[in-house]
Amino acid sequence: MAETGGLTSEEAARRLAQDGPNLLPRLARPSPLRELARQFTHLLALLLWAAAGLALLAGTPVLAVAIVVVIVFNAVFAFAQDYRADRSTERLRALLPSSTRVRRDGRMRTIDPVDLVRDDVVLLSSGDRIAADMELTEANELGVDESMVTGESEPVRHDRGELLSAGTFVVQGEAEARVTATGATTTLAAISALARSATRPPSPLTHALNRVVRTVAVFAVTTGVVLGIAGVVIGLRPVDAFLFAVGVAVALVPEGLLPTVTLSLARGAQTMAHEQALVRRLDAVETLGATTFICTDKTGTLTQNRMSVVEIWTPGGLVRVQGDGYEPTATITGPAEATTLLPGLAASAVLCVTGRAVSHAGTWQAEGNPLDAAIFALAMRCGWQDDPSRPVTRLPYTAKRMMSSAVLAGRASTIGAPERVFERCSRVPEEAHRALSRMTATGQRVLAVAGRPWSATPTEEAVETDLELLGLLGLEDPPRPDVHEALQACRDADIRVIMVTGDHPNTAEAVAREVGLLQPGGAVLGSGLPEDDAELGELLDHRAGAVVARVTPADKLRITRVLRERGHVVAMTGDGVNDAPALREADVGVAMGRSGSDVAREAADLVLLDDHFGTIVTAVRLGRATFANARRFLTYHLTDNVAELAPFAVWALTGGQFPLAIGVLQVLALDIGSDMLPALALGVEPPSKRVMLGPVRSRSLIDRPLVWRAFGVLGPVEAAASLGGFAAVLVLGGWSWGQQVAPGLLAAASGTAFATIVVAQMANAFACRSEAIPAWGLPFLGNRSLLAAVAAELLLLLAFLGIPAASGLLGGGWPPPAAWLFPLAGAVLVILADAAFKAVLRRRRRGRAA
């Protein structure tokens, strides 16, 4: 491929100062004002707006104002959390590594895309993001994914002289291009301007939560209407019956549910970011927790991705290399005939790769593919000198050929998978086959190097035939030190792991055996996978540690699809361009942040900044914890609703003979006053030690045990305790059935009922910390946020009852001294009832397991 020297550093700096940085516009999002307005117009908000309007018409402005306060509080809180989460994911996206290779001052340099300027000469290869508008000066089998710009899903072939748009991706081949526009003058900028009104579609988790809210809202309205009609039937004035119906509806609606969920997910995403796992979609936090199958690559995920050539077979014998990383110096030992052949072999190999080893602050590091850098380091150790001005013509690597070639000065060189290169060689000595078997058996990644004379126009069919085998390169990539621990955590969590790799089966088996992944059965070749999907699913589903080697991108996609069809929640790792379909198909696509391509990162839901398998396991643990927290605060919210509804139901069913224990404003004080902080604290409950023991018990946010626990056990206990306290205060104060109640006595009794619900909810907050362990079995200081929240709830209770203005507005007075026994009894009963329910649930689960 022809090469030019590119701009000088001085000229590039001048143009950067003149045109500004190459900051591509981000995908447009609705304005903050529009997002805030949306919080005032969803189903729950519309329900409350209607209630406020009707309350105003009914002549109860205090109730109308209270409902409006609920709407505003809920909307502002939800907006603040959505805005915070959105900006958090934007900050995470900004952390994703990105670079562009250019020619400046006559040599190749790697720069930040924001420093690109007009007329920069950019070097493109498979996996690169095109960071500015460009005109191709050279193109070699170039295919570009333009779906972001045109919507076309198939890659588009481009030749010399054609234009490339910023924001697209190279999926095949190599090219050089001249930058024609940067930043706000690119095609992507114009498209972004047209897309500013676009809205983000709701996530699957949002859909599930909306279904919960809709169900509760419909139930609340229906119950309110039915009991309102019942009030009219028993003799209430229509205005009073209406207010009663409004109170019932408000009592059943969990106003703080959505913001609590949003905060919990945002907190989970931020915690994952601290653990080197960047979440690109907020709902992926929850999906991670349900993962049952992890399909992982080998290089860089289970291994350290620090490739080095340690052994070389040549026709003259075996050579060993002892060096430090990518340093250009090393100790090379072997027969004289072999070491004589080594420089030519290394020079042929390095022509076929584009990655380099470069020195940064005295430390040699990989620039580009680590495997390429290892070959580059070997070439330098053999005395090879890099000369960017040489007219090298390359035939880039493709997954179909599994090799790449280069032509320079009348000589063609080829490097690739040994079995594919062997097929193209005119003769392969038996010693090469034996060396390949031995090297792969020790876990080395082996590449074959071949060559031939060539002076005509290069084509794959012609150049890559009748080759002369020059030798085999054995590369080592040490396993990560704590992979054993991460794999054991997966086994404990009943999460199955398979290695899906393009490497040789022997290499894959050796690494899998070393890290403790390989189970009886050995590796399966991608070409040997069953053609029938049912057979493939059966093969993989019953292997605790399978290895699938020499897979193609199509194999990865098929494996993902088959496992999902069998009911698994699949996390698929990938780093290459061709991994993008499988990453999109998976429930959770996991891309490599350091070594992965831009295409893979764009397709993924989770990006690993450290490319570490253990980080996936950490993210799954945090995902499980986030999902468990959502169930915790949902149980807490729904329990309160039963205690709030019971007084209205009893009042209606007795025809008004039994006074109303709490009013609508007291219900609102419970929902947005005393209950909100403990619910938020439950959303940040630290992961329990058992969160990764055994499979996920439930993938449903609301299931039968949760409903029974909230509506059948905890809620009725709270309701009985509060109504019992209310009735006891009335009776001890001289009230008889059907009589009118003196205002002072009614206020004291109502305050007792209110205090009983609040104190019982304090106990319920501790009970909801676990779905299996009684409250007394949990560490008291395990969630300090909950301790602070319950303390704040107690202060609010004292304020609501003890401050005359607040108690007068809400309608509940300070309980008599003896009446405080009922709140305490309510708390104790909630803890005991919860423990009994958990014991029954444990026995049933043990019975089913047996």
SS3 content of the chain, % helix, strand, coil (to 5): 50, 20, 30
Residue 124: strand pairing partners: 175
One of 297, 477, 579, 611 is an active-site residue; which one?
Answer: 297
**Phi, psi (degrees; rounded to nearest 5) at 276:** 75, 20
CA distances from 413 to 355, 425, 464 (A): 16, 12, 9
Question: Which residues contact residue 92 at a Cβ distance below 8 angstroms, ignoring those fewer than 6 apart?
Answer: 269, 273, 278, 279, 280, 607
Residue by residue, DSSP assigns 509-574 as HHHHHHHT---TT-EEEGGGS-SSHHHHHHHHHT-TEEEEES--HHHHHHHHHHHHHTT--EEEEE
Residue by residue, DSSP assigns 264-291 as HHHHHHHHHHHTTEEESSTTHHHHHHT-
DSSP character at residue 709 = I
CA distances from 566 to 294, 451, 542 (A): 14, 47, 12
The tens digit of pLDDT for each residue in 404-442 reads 899 988 899 999 999 999 999 999 999 999 999 999 888
pLDDT at position 814 is 92
Residue 471: strand pairing partners: 449
Local structure of 216: helix, strand or coil: helix
Alpha carbon distance 376, 398 (integer Å): 20
Q: Tokens 């400046």 appear where?
A: 104
CA quadruple 386, 391, 397, 402: dihedral sign? negative
CA distances from 241 to 235, 237, 268, 648 (A): 9, 6, 44, 11
pLDDT at position 434 is 93
Extract long-range pairs of 838-841: CB within 8 Å, 24+ residues apart. 838/770, 838/771, 838/772, 838/773, 838/774, 841/705, 841/772
Alpha carbon distance 176, 2 (integer Å): 9
Could you write out the three-class secondary structure of 31-98? CHHHHHHHHCCCHHHHHHHHHHHHHHHCCCHHHHHHHHHHHHHHHHHHHHHHHHHHHHHHHHHHHCCC
Alpha carbon distance 622, 284 (integer Å): 11
Both tokens of 435, joined, read 């060396």
C-alpha closest to that of 649 among 254, 253, 255, 247: 247
Q: ∠155-158-161 over CA atoms, to 5°?
A: 155
| Phi-psi group of 59: left, alpha or beta (phi > 0 → left; psi -120 to 50 → alpha; rest → beta) | left
pLDDT at position 199 is 40
Both tokens of 457, joined, read 């126009």
840: enclosing H helix or E strand: helix 821-849
Low-confidence ranges of the chain (pLDDT < 50): 1-3, 27-28, 85, 88-89, 91-97, 151-153, 194-204
C-alpha closest to that of 644 among 667, 620, 612: 667
Alpha carbon distance 30, 378 (integer Å): 53
Furthest C-alpha separation in the chain: 113
Alpha carbon distance 556, 314 (integer Å): 34
pLDDT at position 791 is 94
DSSP character at residue 466 = S
The tens digit of pLDDT for each residue in 317-347 reads 999 998 877 888 888 899 998 889 999 999 9
Question: Which residues contact residue 656 at a Cβ distance below 8 angstroms, ignoring those fewer than 6 apart?
Answer: 231, 234, 235, 236
pLDDT at position 194 is 44
CA quadruple 124, 125, 128, 133: dihedral sign? positive
Which amino acid is present at 812?
G
Look at the chain and count its residues.
850
Residue by residue, DSSP assigns 151-163 as ---S-EEE-TT-E
Alpha carbon distance 475, 554 (integer Å): 26
C-alpha closest to that of 522 among 541, 486, 549: 549
**Phi, psi (degrees; rounded to nearest 5) at 478:** -60, 145
Alpha carbon distance 507, 513 (integer Å): 10
pTM of the model: 0.69
DSSP character at residue 303 = B
Alpha carbon distance 343, 380 (integer Å): 9
Active site residue 297: yes
C-alpha closest to that of 833 among 753, 757, 749, 775: 775
Q: Is 744 exposed, middle or buried (0-12, 13-18, 19+ CB in 10 A)?
A: exposed
Which amino acid is present at 41?
T
CA quadruple 314, 316, 322, 324: dihedral sign? negative
Which ranges of 168-237 does DSSP label H, i.e. alpha helix?
187-194, 204-233
